Structure 1
Amino acid sequence: MQARHYKTLQELWKKTTPNQQDVGHLLDLEFESRRAFIDSCSLKEEDRTEKVIEAYPCFREHKHVTGQAIALMKALPSMFPSPTAPPKKLGSASEALIHVLEPSEDPNTFLQKRPITSPVILVDSTNLLLAVGKISLMTLPKEMIHEAPLILMGCFYTFHLTYPKCVTTLLSVIQTEVLKDSIHERDLTHSYKKAIAEWGEFTKK
């Protein structure tokens, strides 16, 4: 499946005017194999960019570089892990924050079946949909994906919602380190303290 996505991506890019939305969608679907390719690359780091551009010339377009914000959003919960696992029906913890819709997937049906009611960003081939619980709040241009964490935090603040347990460490770190908001003493959990300590060590490097 991943190989087919890559092949289709290369065929699209050979066109004189490739459909950038289709390219972006395929990049999202093909992310895992691309990351494996990059990680397995034996070249020195300073030579890696050239190798990746040879395989993915679409990264010469700024929108496809910033489009990897979706992958970053998916990775954030594992970078600041919470001790509580996500509900089985949810799948990964990142699904508490963002979900990439399949072409045949209806957003309203997805929201009705979602096992938690926290704010979420739904991504389709052209737009972002911001929803809280089963309510679709607004449609946003896909270029705003890099703002998604702050948009979600805005929803938690506006509607005074509780963080999902599976991403509470991540959202608490964003609250204190990005938004510079205080945190209640009861929320100073071991996982939060560990994440803050590791973040502090990282920022010193």
Structure 2
Amino acid sequence: MAKHYRTLQSLCKKKTPNRESVSQLLDLKSSARREFIDSDSFCEEDRHKKILEDIGHVMEELQRILDKNNIYYIDELKGRWDDFCQKVQFFGVWKKLLKPPVGMDKVEQAVSILRVLPSLFPSSSAPLKKLGHVSEALVHVLEEKEDPNDYLKKRRLSCPVLIVSLSNCLLAVRDVPITTLPKDKVTQGVLYLVAYYYALH
């Protein structure tokens, strides 16, 4: 696996990395890589550093884990997420946990849905007291003058999180920012969040 990661790193460090070569190498070593990631070969706090920081490859990893023979899996997943959001919105309004989306743009709707998901589908285990609101495990909406780096340093959870500010979205794992997206791509950010949950097991 050390040789595998060295080869991947050398391919990714090139000025114009060959995406197909990286994908092919990831395909060839998929099961061995999953065993390595799931093993105790490195500390839990270093686990995210061993995962590729290229979002495209993490999405491909999600496809390898869930439906490796379906080349259309990611496109299908995006469609299923849109359908799910519509149903959850209806369910949330019916349960009086969401306001009707009248006058809300798509970003506000998506963030509202993310914030109420844990309340609509509660876990059987109690949330950590230090967590505050249970949705903080998935998404954090920054206050007007709140700094994302300060928030990440204070955050005690190791799971991936989507941080939403006035202008963009930041996907982070532990205290490491992975990628920034325009705010109107928040629904895409949710799919990346799911991909990192699976990739990090």
Please give the range of the TM-score, normalised by the shorter of the 2 chains.
Answer: 0.3 to 0.5
Normalised TM-score (structure 2): 0.47
Normalised TM-score (structure 1): 0.46
